[in-house]
Amino acid sequence: MEQLSQLVSELRSAQCVTVLTGSGISAESGIPTFRDVQTGLWARFRPEDLATPHAFHQNPSLVWDWYSWRRDMVLQASPNAGHIALVELEDWLVKRSDSFYLITQNVDGLHQRAGSRQVVELHGSLLRSKCSSEGTVFDDWPKGHGSPPACPQCGAFLRPDVVWFGETLPEQALQTAWKAAQNCDWFFSVGTSSLVEPAASLSSIALQNGATLVEINPAETHLSSRAHFSWRSPAGQALPVLLLALFGDQGKLVP
C-alpha cells in the first residue's frame, strides 16, 4: 500500500485501537465462510435451514450434527499470520498502557488460540454449548453424534452457543463492542464485507467519534470510500507487513 509509511507514522501515536474481524481472516486458515460451508453430505441444505431456533426445534439431531461437523473442521485449523499480528498489536498497546479491543464476527476461537486476550465474540463460539431452555453456557462441547446431549442442570437439549437467524446478539458483547467503537481513536475493519448488521455499523460509530478508519480486505466494499486507509489485501498478508513496518526486526513475525 502506497500510504503505508503514513499509516505507520500516525498509528504510533494511537491510544485506543479497536479491530473488527470477519470471515475473511478465518478463510485464510482454511475455514470456509458460512455461505461456502455446505459441502459433501451437507450440500443439499441451505445454511439458513440449519441455523434457526425453528430448525433446531424441528430436527435437533440434524442441527447438532451439522455444528459438530463444523466444530471438528475448526479444530483442525490453525491461526494464521493475520491472527498472530493482531496479538502483537495488542501486546504493543498494552505494554504502553493503551487500550485494545478485538471484536469478531467469527465463531471459531482462532483469535484466542493465537493469544488474543481482549476478544469480543458478537456471534458466539462453536467451541461452547448452552442449554436450549435456560441458556446456561458450558465451556465444552460433548462428543458424539445423534441426539444432542442433555443439559446437566435441567435435562433440556444442549445447543451450540452461537447466534442463529432471528436471535439477538449477546447484550454484553454488543454493549462492549459499541463502547469500543465509540472510544477508540483507530478502528480497523479486517476481512469483513461490512454488510452484516449490527457489526457493520461499528465502523460508522467510530468515524462519527473521530476515529481513523483502516480497512483491510481483498475486495472493495461500501466502506472503502470512507476509510482513511484502504488496503486491498488478505489480512494474513497485510497485517504482518504493517507490524514489520511498525516494529522493524523486533516483531515475532520476522524470522
Catalytic residue numbers, as ranges: 123
**Rounded alpha-carbon distances, angstroms, from residue 74 to 11, 33, 70, 124, 125:** 33, 11, 6, 14, 11
Q: Which amino acid is at 227?
A: A
| Contact criterion met (CB below 8 Å) for 177 and 103 | yes
The SS3 call for residue 74 is helix
Q: Residue 54 phi/psi, 5° resolution? A: -65, -40
Residue ranges with strand state E in the chain? 16-21, 99-104, 119-121, 124-131, 137-138, 158-162, 186-190, 212-216, 229-231
Residue identified by cell 441455523 is: 51
Question: To which residue does cell 431456533 refer?
Answer: 53
Question: For residues 51 and 164, is the Cβ–Cβ distance under 8 A?
Answer: yes
Neighbours of 7 (CB within 10 A): 19
Grid cell, residue 177, equals: 463492542
